[in-house]
Structure 1
Amino acid sequence: MSSKLQTAMEGLISVFHSYSEKEGDKYKLSKPELKNLLQGELAELLMASKDPTVVDKIMTDLDENQDGQVDFQEFVVLVAALTVACNEFFIDYDRAYKKGN
């Protein structure tokens, strides 16, 4: 039986490849594949942005080697940054809630 962390890692790999295999290099996300992944997996965060160029900005930020695609390592940077931001949000929310009580 896998640990929670191992299951999460397997999930990240599975999600990435379920979108990267659609066109071109099956080990990288093209811009349309990245957009589909963001819309399919992170729709609430994407909608909260209200910036119509958010996918372009994410693509530019993630594409470290500037090949026009996002590989798995670049994708993990996005997931890590979003996870840290969510954790900070919940810590701040918890502190504010405890102050109010």
Structure 2
Amino acid sequence: MPSELECAMESLITMFHRYAGKDTNTLSRRELRELMENELSTFLKEDPAAVDKIMKDLDTERKDVLDFDMFLSLLARFLMANN
């Protein structure tokens, strides 16, 4: 039986791929906004410009997409800010 942490990790992976859509390796700006509206709405309500700020901070290659590593960095920032 998977541990609570293992279940949480699997959930994060599944969620990333659900919102990434056809291109399951990245989240576009639109996909990130949709994910945040549905799954992180409290953060988005506090700062409506959060998606643009996140893309600017994490999308260092300026491809206007976030890969899974960048997505994890985003989640780590939220976790640290709310610890």
TM-score under structure 2 normalisation?
0.91
Q: CA shift at 1:68, angstroms?
A: 1.3
The corresponding residue for 2:25 is 27
In structure 1, C-alpha distance between the alignment counterparts of 2:7 and 2:60, rounded to whole Å: 27
Bigger radius of gyration among the two = 1
State the number of aligned residues.
Answer: 83
Once the two structures are superposed, the pairs formed by residues 1-101 of structure 1 within 5 Å of their partners are 1-21=1-21, 23=22, 25-49=23-47, 52-87=48-83
Q: Which runs of 5+ in 2 are unaligned?
A: none
The corresponding residue for 1:90 is none
Q: Which runs of 5+ in 1 are unaligned?
A: 88-101
Contact 1:29/1:70, CA 8 A, preserved across alignment: yes
In structure 2, C-alpha distance between the alignment counterparts of 1:79 and 1:72, rounded to whole Å: 11
TM-score under structure 1 normalisation?
0.76
Per-residue CA distance 1:37-80 (angstroms, 9 max, x = gap): 0111000111012xx43211111112133221000000000101
Instruction: Give aligned-pair identity as a percent.
Output: 43
What secondary structure sits across from 1:29 in the alignment? strand
In structure 1, C-alpha distance between the alignment counterparts of 2:50 and 2:80, rounded to whole Å: 19
**What stretches of structure 1 move > 6 A for 4+ residues in a row?**
none
The corresponding residue for 1:99 is none
In structure 1, C-alpha distance between the alignment counterparts of 2:60 and 2:19, rounded to whole Å: 20
Q: Which one has more relative contact order, counting CA pairs under 8 Å at least 6 apart?
A: 2
